[in-house]
Amino acid sequence: MAESKRFLSVTGAVFVVAFGIGLGLLGPEVGAFGDSDRAYVEHFSGGSQRGADIAGSILLLAAAAAFMYFTHLIASIPAEALRQSAPSNLVRTAGMLAGIFMAVAALALVTVPLSISMGEFFDEEGKAFGEGQAVLPQFGYAALVLGAMIPAAVAIVAAARLGLFPPWLTRASLPLAVLLAVTSGSVVAMALLPIWVAMATVVLARAEDPPGRS
Region of 156 on the Ramachandran plot (φ > 0 left; ψ -120 to 50 alpha; else beta): alpha
Q: For helices 2-30 and 86-121, what crossing angle results, to 10°? A: 50
Cα angle vertex 104, ends 178, 31, to 5°?
60
**Between residues 136 and 211, which one has the greater pLDDT?**
136
Instruction: For the chain, give every domain's residue range.
Output: 2-206
H helices of the chain, in order, are 2-30, 37-43, 47-76, 86-121, 135-142, 150-160, 167-183, 192-206
Instruction: Output the furthest CA–CA distance in the chain (Å, rounded).
Output: 66
Share of the chain above pLDDT 70, in %: 85
- Most confident region among 57-61, 111-115, 187-191 by mean pLDDT: 57-61
What is the pLDDT averaged over residues 155-178?
A: 94
Q: What is the pLDDT of residue 209?
A: 56
| Helix H or strand E encompassing 51 | helix 47-76
| pLDDT per position as a tens digit, 195-209 | 999 999 999 988 765
Alpha-carbon distance of 52 to 29, in angstroms, equals: 10
Query: So what's the pLDDT on residue 186?
Result: 87
Q: What is the pLDDT of residues 55-92, one digit of tens each?
A: 999 999 999 999 999 999 999 887 554 445 678 899 99
Quote the pLDDT of residue 40: 79
Q: Rounded to two decimals, what is the model's pTM? A: 0.86
pLDDT of residue 91: 95
In 22-43, which positions are buried (b, 16+ CB within 10 angstroms) versus exposed (e)?
Answer: bbebbbebbebbeeeeeebbeb
Angle at 22 (CA atoms; ends 160, 154), nearest 5 degrees: 20
Closest to 132 (Cα-Cα) out of 105, 148, 108, 104: 108
